Structure 1
């Protein structure tokens, strides 16, 4: 069990009151999490995060006053080590890409279960994931090699051909990489690896 100091501090930023308060209430029921604030828009998210210094911010991308993308950009610059998990009911690839480029470490669709959101929070939080400095130790040599091919833009088929393995083996390696990095897709995995200095843009 975590000591109180090891609780993952979470800020929930979403302009939909029912979703925001409901999610905050459910997160508060977990012994590993402490909800340190709720924000109705990007401006409130920035103000509250600077005051409460959360480990993780759940950031809705489409909010009034200041967008989630802009709030993410400003917060990751102001708070070292902050993890921002983007939220949206609409998986707009362009917007998700902007959020990741602005510093978000991942994206979660609002349609997923609460357990999925909680798992993502715990996997990316510095206190539970031990930070990105240990990513290299988590990955095997082959997994890291495959991840670097993904960062180069190669498809599974191209990676299989280059490494002399089957596509199924490539998929298996990527599945383990996603699990170890707390990523749900290739883009998130590459972003994690870039922040850990394992791959370059």
Structure 2
């Protein structure tokens, strides 16, 4: 097994959903599902500092927050799967979870969220986020769509430049303009904007 693979633990009380999450993780070239368990107690002995933990336990928000706090205290990057209710987001995030992902999320968003929290960013699915974006999509150019699609797929600035045949300086200029349009300087918000507006890897404007 390559040491470059990011370890992911899937802890969920629904066997079918847990298996689906594990398969999606293992299909990514840079990720591996190293732990799969029905409970935190069952998984604890196999967890390592730095692991990303996908937490899909149907618990009240307060109890889920306690679990997130305990795991975050061990140096784990916790990504909680939530229902489509903003009330479920705040307790685990305030307790130390790095992200909350909607259970309605697709595979592309799942992988993007894992990579972001692994890199130390926070992530909240667009349909769980409280703050709407400005009406920016109509003002996004084709080149900016290409960059957003690659960014949502986990590409670095260097990787985007190589894929598009442009300089990193040019990539940075496009990203600065996108940040102004989206209204946030954070890379995670650009990714969330792309996912919310179906600007995804494999977009017709995205060079394969």
For the criterion TM > 0.5, the same-fold answer is yes
Q: Over residues 47-98 of structure 1, what are the superposed CA-to-partner deviations in whole Å (9 max), with x where a residue is unaligned? A: 432xx4452101124259x94322211111122xx2111102x233233111
Q: 2:117 aligns with which of 109, 113, 124?
A: 124
Instruction: Confirm or deny that 1:69 pairs with 2:79.
Output: no
CA distance in 2, matches of 1:45, 1:171: 43
Residue of structure 2 aligned with 1:179, choices 177, 188, 191: 188
The partner residue of 1:111 within 98, 104, 116 is 104
Contact 2:8/2:52, CA 8 A, preserved across alignment: yes
| Residue 26 of structure 1: aligned partner | 24
Q: Does structure 2 retain, via aligned residues, the 8 Å contact 1:43–1:71? A: no
Aligned to 2:52: 56
Q: What is aligned with 1:85?
A: 79
Over the residues paired in the alignment, what is the CA RMSD in angstroms?
3.4
Quick check: 1:9 aligned with 2:2?
no
For the Cα contact (< 8 Å) 2:49–2:74, is it kept in 1?
Answer: no
Deviating beyond 6 angstroms after TM superposition, the runs of 4 or more aligned structure 1 residues are 154-157
Q: How many residues align?
A: 140
Q: Which piece of structure 1 moves more, 18-27 or 34-43? A: 34-43
Does the 8 Å contact 1:20/1:38 carry over to 2?
A: yes
After superposition, the Cα gap between the structure-2 partners of 1:45 and 1:71, relative to the gap in structure 1 and judged at 3 Å, is farther
Q: CA deviation at 1:23?
A: 1.2
Structure 1 pair 172/155, CA: closer, same or farther in 2 (3 Å)?
Answer: closer
User: 1 or 2, which has the higher helix percentage?
Assistant: 1
TM-score between both structures, scaled by the size of structure 2:
0.56
**Where in structure 1 are there 5+ consecutive unaligned residues?**
133-153, 158-168, 185-201
Partner of 2:37: 39
CA distance in 2 between counterparts of 1:54 and 1:38 reads: 16
